[in-house]
Amino acid sequence: MDYKDIEDAVENTVEKVADAVEDSTEKVADVLDEHIEVAEDVAEDVADALEDFVEEAIPTVEPEKPSFVDDVADTIEEGASKTKEFVSNAYDKAKDYSGIAYEKGKAFVGTVAEKGKGYASTAATFIGDAVRDLRDATKMSVARTNEKSALKRSYEDLGKLYYEVMADKAEGEFLVCCNNIKASLDKIADLTAQIEAIRSKTNVQVVDATDATEELDEIQAVVEGKSEDTEE
């Protein structure tokens, strides 16, 4: 996953969270609207019930109702109005709080998104630097191996040149090394002579070990090739 994929993932998360907060705010508003309607209906029902109760409980001796009946009705109506006003105010405050919560939530998510982008950018930079460092270290390792091989060849050339020039004049440790080289050369010459003697006696060609290995590899490759052709 590169930096662009991380940035897209963070933006998608921010949009989803913002949509979820907006949906929650709308649902809260709908619930409050329902409660206001229920409260209005209850207040009206209570006012009507109390008014009917008063009218039925007080005998009508005279054609006109007592004055306190109207006072009670007015009080009930005022209470209903205040109840409605209270519920309406509660709804407005709840709606305001929902709006504030939505804005704060949106701002918080935006802040988190920005920080997430920053962290993603830092991580991408760190990873890129690490990859470049690893690549450079690999190149340096290959170069070091090549230099070691070149150094080994130089040592061999120097030793061979020294032996050819100074073998008869060497002293101390140099004389020990030159004697070891001379012993190996003498042994190689002796083995070569024995091989030539066998060739001349049996008329059989003695193959060098390295050449024999290469020939066996060639024969095996030919056999494998014929085997694959047969299977097809």
Helix (H, G, I), strand (E, B) or coil at 210: helix
Domain boundaries of the chain, sorted by first residue: 3-142, 167-231
Backbone dihedral region of 205: left (phi > 0), alpha (psi from -120 to 50 degrees) or beta?
Answer: beta
Per-residue pLDDT, averaged over 97-126, amounts to 73
Distance, CA of 185 to CA of 183 (rounded, Å) = 5
- Mean pLDDT score of the chain: 75
Structure confidence at residue 191 (pLDDT): 94
**Whole-angstrom Cα distance, residue 126 to residue 129?**
5
What pLDDT, on a 0 to 100 scale, did the predictor assign at position 66?
60
CA quadruple 166, 169, 174, 179: dihedral, nearest 10? 90
Confidence of residue 68 (pLDDT cuts 50, 70, 90): low
Cβ–Cβ under 8 Å, residues 25 and 99:
yes
Q: Is the Cβ–Cβ distance between 77 and 47 less than 8 Å?
A: yes
Q: How far is CA 170 from the centre of its chain?
A: 66
Grade residue 3 by pLDDT with cuts at 50, 70 and 90: low
Residue count of the chain, please give it: 232
pLDDT at 173 over 70: yes
What pLDDT is recorded for position 23? Answer: 74
SS3 content of the chain, % helix, strand, coil (to 5): 90, 0, 10
pLDDT tens string 199-226: 888 765 555 555 656 666 666 666 566 5
What mean pLDDT is predicted for residues 94-102? 70
Q: What integer pLDDT is reported at residue 228 of this predicted model?
A: 54
- The secondary structure of residue 58, as a DSSP letter, is S
Instruction: Report the distance separating Cα 90 and Cα 92, nearest Å.
Output: 5
Tell me the mean pLDDT in the region 60-78. 62
E strand or H helix at 23, and its extent? helix 3-57
Say what the pLDDT of residue 185 is: 92
